Structure 1
């Protein structure tokens, strides 16, 4: 039987339990898991802000997670282009993508090459965005 290769892309900034859960759940649904770590430039393009943790450190953290078999630096916005470089059978995303324009496009694009899109529950109580807001608030308070 062929090995099922999974791909879990993300910025993985301010690594937290939500990231760990996505990687754990993703690994349970494939034989080999590749984590796509979004470059600093791509993160700025997608989210409008640079990550707090530099790419080399985010890559090292993600590579060290026991559920991850390999890590790949994602440098292009088109996930289909990334697929051509990495080749995977299933891509994992948070369910905050489900039913959105970008999620629908992802599903359409990957249907053309036979890649499954699997959504996992988004960790609402812990997110890098929330952690960053807390840090920004702490920094603002220190400079006041």
Structure 2
């Protein structure tokens, strides 16, 4: 651990984790390095439908299993809302980890405000731009058209 990097007791990150890829793994690895106990929220199917305006490719119970099988994850919970204070009420944490694509955006400001009221730090990590579930979906759709 670097002396300039804070070490949190319990850290939290969440996502849909549909079509698990290296961007997801990068986020989880970085989060693991910042806390003693890493809790990961996997978006419910209902929340995913609302969030993405389309269903996930992989159902929630399977996405949950994939995340739970990773040795870098200590605990997995179902995430049901964009309001992370609800996740905090379900499972208390000291820091929440997000990709820096949230930083400086309205949803990032809302997250910082709500987490700040609970005494939770928001820590941003570099977003893996070259791989995303959206890009994978687009590639697969193009392959179907061929």
TM-score (norm 1): 0.93
Equivalents in 2 of 1:139, 1:36: separation in Å? 32
Shift of 1:47: 1.2
Quote the RMSD (CA, aligned, Å): 1.3
Number of equivalences: 140
Task: Map residues 1-144 of structure 1 onto 2, 5 A cutoff.
Answer: 4-141=9-146
Distance in 2, matches of 1:77 and 1:109, equals: 11
Structure 1: runs of 5 or more not aligned: none
- Bigger mean CA deviation after superposition, 38-47 or 96-105: 38-47
* 8 A contact 2:8–2:95 mirrored in 1: no
Alpha-carbon shift at residue 24 of structure 1 (Å):
0.5
Secondary structure of 1:66 counterpart: coil
Shift of residue 76 of structure 1? 2.7
Q: Equivalents in 2 of 1:73, 1:7: separation in Å? A: 12
Unaligned stretches of 5+ residues in structure 2 = 1-6
CA offset digits 1:43-95 (Å, max 9, x no partner): 11111111101111100000011110011011233111111111111001110
Give the ranges of 4+ consecutive aligned residues of structure 1 lying more than 4 Å apart after TM superposition.
none
The normalised TM-score by structure 2 is 0.92
8 A contact 2:23–2:132 mirrored in 1: yes
Distance 2:145 2:33 in 1: 41
